[in-house]
């Protein structure tokens, strides 16, 4: 899933810090980095916010099986 | 998403308590009930475990957009 977040983030030319900023709350670039590396899991609510920020569907982000 | 969990759980003829038991850890039937009602969010790792227990893909569980 982390790879999908990275793939779509790069497609949108967003930095990790910028994506974190778009999510609001207190996440930062290192949070996004750990998510992308699979070192961190997030809630399905947060995954939904990420999908909105990247303008993709939730299905796109979990489409790795 | 909760509706999808309920839909597939019923298709497998599993009770909420039985699905909770299959997930291991300390979740119980009321945890599944709150997830299904959207009163609770879970981690993407937990959603993956639910998809394995229900024998569906993650995409199936987030296919509500």
Looking at beta carbons, which residues of chain A come within 8 Å of B39?
none
Identify the CATH homologous superfamily for domain B2-59.
lambda repressor-like DNA-binding domains (1.10.260.40)
Q: Is the pLDDT of residue B31 over 90?
A: yes
Angle at A62 between CA A59 and CA B1, to 5 degrees: 60
ipTM of this complex? 0.78
Q: Is the pLDDT of residue A25 over 90?
A: no
In angstroms, the separation between the Cα of residue A57 and the nearest Cα of chain B is 7
The pLDDT of A33-61, averaged and rounded, is: 94
Q: A39 CB near a chain B CB, below 8 Å? A: no
Domain ranges of chain A: 2-57
> How would residue A58 be classed by pLDDT, with cut points 50, 70 and 90?
very high
- The answer to whether the CB atoms of A62 and B65 lie below 8 A apart is no
Token pair listed for A40: 């961190």
Mean pLDDT, all residues of chain A: 93
> How would residue B30 be classed by pLDDT, with cut points 50, 70 and 90?
very high
pLDDT at site A65: 62
Q: Is the pLDDT of residue B41 over 70?
A: yes
pLDDT at site B65: 62
The pLDDT of B18-33, averaged and rounded, is: 93
Q: Is the pLDDT of residue B21 over 80?
A: yes
The fold adopted by the segment(s) A2-57 is 434 Repressor (Amino-terminal Domain) (1.10.260)
Spatial separation of the C-alpha atoms in residues B8 and A31, rounded to whole Å:
32
The pLDDT of A49-65, averaged and rounded, is: 90
Spatial separation of the C-alpha atoms in residues A51 and A62, rounded to whole Å:
10
pLDDT at site A36: 96
């Amino acid at each position: 899933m982390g790879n999908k977040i990275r793939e779509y983030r790069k497609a949108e030319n967003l930095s990790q810090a910028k994506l974190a900023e778009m999510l609001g709350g207190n996440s930062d670039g290192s949070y996004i980095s750990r998510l992308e590396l699979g070192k961190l899991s997030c809630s399905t609510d947060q995954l939904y916010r990420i999908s909105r920020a990247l303008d993709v569907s939730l299905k796109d982000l979990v489409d790795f099986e």
